[in-house]
Amino acid sequence: MRTLIIDDEPDAIDALRIIIEELLPELEIIGSYSNSTEALEDIPQLNPGLVLLDINMPGLNGFELLESLKDRNFKTIFITAYDDYAIKAFKYSAVDYILKPIDIDELVSAVKRSISPNKGPGESDELKYKKLFEIIKGNQSEKLVITTYDGTYYIDPQDVIYVQADSNYSSFIFNNAKELFVAKGLKDFADLLPSTYFFRSHHSFLINLNFVRRYMRNEGGSIEMVNGAQIPLARRKKNEFYDLMKKLIKNG
Here the CATH number for the domain that contains residue 213 is: 2.40.50.1020
**Better-predicted residue by pLDDT, 125 or 34:** 34
Q: What is the pLDDT of residues 60-116, one digit of tens each?
A: 888 889 888 888 888 889 888 756 556 666 665 557 888 888 899 999 998 998 887
Mean of pLDDT values over 47-58: 90
Percent over 70 (pLDDT), the chain: 86
Mean of pLDDT values over 188-207: 88
What is the pLDDT, as a whole number, of residue 84? 59
Task: Identify whether 233 is part of a domain.
Answer: yes
Task: Identify whether 72 is part of a domain.
Answer: yes
Residues 90 and 171 in one domain: no
Residues 171 and 129 in one domain: no
Task: Identify whether 152 is part of a domain.
Answer: no
pLDDT band at 174 (very low <50, low <70, confident <90, very high): very high
Point out the domain boundary residue: 136, 169, 195: 136
Taking alpha carbons only, the member of 10, 1, 18 closest to residue 107 is 18
- The answer to whether residue 10 scores a pLDDT higher than 80 is yes
Residues 46 and 108 in one domain: yes
Report the C-alpha dihedral over residues 236, 212, 163, 143, rounded to 10 degrees: -120
Task: Identify whether 44 is part of a domain.
Answer: yes
What is the pLDDT, as a whole number, of residue 121? 42
Residues 217 and 124 in one domain: no
Point out the domain boundary residue: 136, 171, 204: 136
Point out the domain boundary residue: 105, 136, 167: 136
Q: What is the pLDDT of residues 162-172, one digit of tens each?
A: 999 988 899 99
Range of the structural domain that residue 78 is part of: 2-136
Strand 169-174 with 179-182, pairing: antiparallel
Residues 79 and 171 in one domain: no
Residues 85 and 192 in one domain: no
Specify whether the CB–CB gap between 22 and 46 falls below 8 A.
Answer: no
Residue 110's contacts (CB-CB under 8 Å, 6 or more residues apart) are 77, 96, 97, 98
Percent over 90 (pLDDT), the chain: 47
Q: What is the pLDDT of residues 206-230, one digit of tens each?
A: 999 999 999 998 777 899 999 999 9
What is the pLDDT, as a whole number, of residue 82? 58
Task: Identify whether 145 is part of a domain.
Answer: no
User: What pTM was estimated for this model as a whole?
Assistant: 0.55
pLDDT band at 203 (very low <50, low <70, confident <90, very high): very high
Residues 68 and 126 in one domain: yes
Q: Residue type at 119?
A: K
Residues 242 and 129 in one domain: no
Residues 125 and 213 in one domain: no
For the chain, the domain total comes to 2
Residues 131 and 222 in one domain: no
Q: What is the pLDDT of residues 103-128, one digit of tens each?
A: 999 999 989 988 876 554 445 676 77
Residues 71 and 189 in one domain: no
